[in-house]
Amino acid sequence: YLDEPDSTGHYYGPESTQIVPALQRVDRILGMLMDGLKAKNLHNCVNIIVASDHGMESASCERASYVSDFQKDTSGFTVIQGPAARIRPSRLPQDYSSFDYEGLVKNLSCRTVDQPMRPYLKENLPKRMHFAKNIRIERGHLYMKSGWQAALKRSDIKYCTGGFHGSDNLFTNMQAIFIGYGPAFKHSTVVPTFENIELYNLMCDLLGIRPSPNNGTHGSLNHLLKHPVHNPVLPAQLSHDILCNSNVLFPSDNLQCTCESQTTEMVCANQIYFCQRSWKLLPTFTPAFQA
């Protein structure tokens, strides 16, 4: 584990000139590793993964929302500050079940135009975050726009300068690095972004061991490998492909179904049927019944 460029990024910011020598130190350390492998004639035998667990965002107290600006009485709760701020009752465990999270979330919602702070109950957070089903997770959360933080008051913000992380991992500045090098990996290949939870299955394949159950999708990183180890078996397609007569773009039988009165006009485009004001892209695969 290398603490750079994380430490320098927190102190000076990810766009500071101090980041350059921090990255150069990391480069020298990796160079020492490669020189050592080459000296033992292992540089073409060992698979190496270089990865990071998060990105970094420039911090500023001007890009922060303060709950005290919207809520007069803040004596009953605290805010764990940051880009993924959480709301917690002040009196625990007494107020754990009785605290009015719903009322607070409602009061903090839509208070200003283009508000960077969006309050959520944990059960309503995007399911992709997997951050709800645990009694230790606070029920109130503040989802922040990219580059923004939240706190109860200005003096609570930890990073007014330098850099921070912890925002939504879909934000570009939160995304991490991945480099795979060695005999198992394809050379000079750039791949789309993927989640770090997929690395466990990949490392198991490289080591020749069976992965334990996990949230990754085994085989999803096969495109990184010259010779994938695990080939997932997909459910068999039981239905048969049917050729579509492209000369007949509308069905002859409407199956007693009609669009609502305001969307009666049908428009044909790219052989996809849709109502003018409400349409969906259909799946690209053949629908199938699975037993």
Q: What is the CATH number of the domain that holds 125?
A: 3.30.1360.180
What domain range includes position 126?
Answer: 64-160
- Residue 259 within a domain: yes
Do 156 and 238 belong together in one domain? no
Measured CA to CA, the distance from residue 68 to residue 72 in angstroms comes to: 6
Q: Are the beta carbons of 158 and 82 closer than 8 angstroms?
A: yes
pLDDT at 7: 97
**pLDDT tens sequence for the chain (291 residues):** 999 999 999 999 999 999 999 999 999 999 999 999 999 999 999 999 999 999 999 999 999 999 999 999 999 999 999 999 999 999 999 998 899 999 999 999 999 988 999 999 999 999 999 999 999 999 999 999 999 999 999 999 999 999 999 999 999 999 999 999 999 999 999 999 999 999 999 999 999 999 999 999 999 999 999 999 998 887 887 777 776 665 655 656 665 555 554 444 444 444 444 444 444 555 554 455 554
Of 87, 83, 85, 86, the residue nearest 165 (C-alpha) = 83
Residue 233 class from Cβ within 10 Å (0-12 exposed, 13-18 middle, 19+ buried)?
A: exposed
Residue ending a domain, among 138, 160, 182, is 160
Residue ending a domain, among 160, 194, 215, is 160
pLDDT at 257: 59
Do 155 and 73 belong together in one domain? yes
Residue ending a domain, among 125, 140, 160, is 160
Q: Are the beta carbons of 46 and 69 closer than 8 angstroms?
A: no
- Residue 114 within a domain: yes
User: How many domains, in total, are found in the chain?
Assistant: 2
Do 155 and 240 belong together in one domain? no
pLDDT at 232: 87
pLDDT at 239: 79
Q: Are the beta carbons of 196 and 53 closer than 8 angstroms?
A: yes
Sheet containing strand 140-144, strands side by side: 77-80, 84-89, 140-144, 117-121
- Residue 16 within a domain: no
Cα angle, residue 48 at apex, residues 45 and 50 outer, rounded to 5°: 165
pLDDT at 238: 79
- Residue 171 within a domain: no
